[in-house]
Amino acid sequence: MRSKIKKLMIFLFVCIIFTVGAKTSFAAFEYHLLESIPGFYAEGSVLTDFPALILAIYKFGIWTVGIAGLFMLVIGGVMYAGSAGNTSVVASAKNIIADALVGIVTAMGAYLFLYVINPDLTKINIDFMDQVPLEAEDESVSGSVSTNLVSVDGHMVDISFKEALDDIKRNPAYSTVMKPVVVSGLRTEKKQIELIRENCGSYPSNGPCTPPTCLLRDGPSSCPHTTGRAVDIWAFTPDGRKQAISQKECTQNLAACRQNRYQAALIQAMRERGFCVLDSEPWHFEKPRMSSSCN
């Protein structure tokens, strides 16, 4: 029993360390509970709030540890009271009481431990970012495929984007306002063909496509993203923990998106460095200009 309590305590402590204060991004979250969480959710409940689920599991675990610890304290106390001077029983009772107290203090003190280190560690900060659909494009453009590609935020882009973004991050006028994060760069020809089939019904296609899609009529150089010279960039808060405005919010109100303090700063910074931004997609940047609506 004592061994199980210790293992439960260790498990809860590790869970707290790696979940409280975590910054994670998920697509839309929806979970049907197969079992109830006593005191919180009934069996079959549909949950859409992941942080609330984590907190419920944590609080239920604390309750379980507290009840189990109290139970073991009672057992240890009864053993100690009834030991009748038997040193072996007294030692065993003391061990049980000590283990129970250590377990309770560990579980209850985990929150305080994290709070003393950094109060932000006690806050669950999990954003559910909308899945980003591939954006609409001109049916064909005139461009050239980049031969100098580098990786930025896990995406391959022309080196000119990396140099511009590095310069923005070094500039206090922008680095104190927002942090640019690349979410899409070079798109392979195979991926573009899949997109054409999905939006246009077949490949090759003469359209119409919904949404309008670059048709790859003259190979990779005829579509912005397949050249590596078109990149989707979003402005995050300066600490990089939160996207300033979601794509869903942006597409619903382009004017508000462009006026968003963070995204507006990103657009200004990129334009100052010779990049254009699509009128219909304030997160899509090109250099040189290929799309007709990139200004």
Domain count, the chain: 2
pLDDT confidence of residue 211: 72
* Distance of alpha carbon 114 from the chain centroid: 22
For residue 184, the tally of other CB atoms under 10 A from its CB is: 19
Mean pLDDT for all residues in the chain: 80
Q: Please check whether residue 127 is in contact with residue 272, taking contact to mean a CB–CB distance below 8 angstroms.
A: no
- What are the distances in angstroms from CA 138 to CA 2, 18, 122, 214, 275? 67, 44, 47, 5, 18
Residue 27 has pLDDT above 50, yes or no: no
The band of 29, judged by pLDDT with boundaries at 50, 70 and 90, is low
Question: Which letter does DSSP use for residue 10 in this model?
Answer: H
Tokens of 91: 């030692």
- The larger pLDDT score, comparing residue 37 to residue 230, is at 230
Partnered with residue 26 across adjacent β-strands are 128
Residues 121 and 207 reside in one and the same domain? no
Is residue 212 domain-resident? Answer: yes
Domain boundary among 100, 127, 154: 127
Span 82-90, average pLDDT: 83
Q: Which amino acid is at 162?
A: K
- pLDDT per position as a tens digit, 146-194: 889 999 999 999 999 999 999 999 999 999 999 999 999 999 999 888 9
Residue 126 has pLDDT above 60, yes or no: no
Range of the domain at 102: 2-127
Tokens of 280: 């219909």
pLDDT confidence of residue 135: 46
Residues 123 and 108 reside in one and the same domain? yes
Partnered with residue 181 across adjacent β-strands are 234
| Percent of the chain scoring above 90 in pLDDT | 27
Residue 10 has pLDDT above 60, yes or no: no
Residues 138 and 274 reside in one and the same domain? yes
Residues 49 and 7 reside in one and the same domain? yes
Residues 181 and 88 reside in one and the same domain? no
Sign, CA dihedral 22-29-256-182, equals: positive
For residue 278, the tally of other CB atoms under 10 A from its CB is: 22
The band of 237, judged by pLDDT with boundaries at 50, 70 and 90, is very high
Residues 138 and 281 reside in one and the same domain? yes
- The larger pLDDT score, comparing residue 290 to residue 56, is at 290
Residue 26 has pLDDT above 60, yes or no: no
pLDDT confidence of residue 48: 66
| Helices and strands of the chain, counted as H and E runs | 10, 10
Residues 173 and 116 reside in one and the same domain? no
CATH number of the domain within which 155 lies: 3.30.1380
Residues 48 and 137 reside in one and the same domain? no
Residue 4 has pLDDT above 60, yes or no: no
Residues 104 and 148 reside in one and the same domain? no
- pLDDT per position as a tens digit, 251-282: 888 888 999 999 999 999 999 999 999 988 89
Residues 51 and 121 reside in one and the same domain? yes
- What are the distances in angstroms from CA 121 to CA 23, 25, 53, 56, 233? 10, 17, 18, 17, 28
